[in-house]
Amino acid sequence: MLQSPRGRAGTAFLQLAIAARTMAGASAVSLPELRSLLALGRARLIDVRSREEAAAGTIPGALNIPVSELESALQMEPAAFQALYSTQKPKLEDENLIFFCQMGKRGLQATQLAQGLGYTGYGIVCMRKVLLAGE
């Protein structure tokens, strides 16, 4: 579920309605698969939306790397990546590296960038935000 930066309980929350679809060069991740991977702690989520979009709400635990800086980020030395993003750099062989954005275009672009750099374990989740009252 998306978390509002304010985290107000009892108000309307934004939730992800994830419509995974297969795109050229990308593996689709279904909602049940994503839930399972998250529950097991086996998904590495990268939100490739802008910082402003991510600040408005994202999947808890996701790392925000805007697609405009993803290629340079994935080419950084591990220590530089750690210093900039406060987390370990994904390894080329990491499984379940999942890129997401609002509609899927930037997620697909990110997936193709990662593939071009030699990353092998990746998927894409295409999302739309849906306002749900009282959840």
**Active site (catalytic) residues:** 101
Q: Distance between CA atoms of 73 and 65, rounded to whole angstroms?
A: 8
Residue type, 116: G
Question: 6-19: buried (b, 16+ CB within 10 Å) or exposed (e) per residue?
Answer: eeeeeeebbebebe
Residue type, 10: G
The H or E element that residue 55 is part of is: helix 51-55
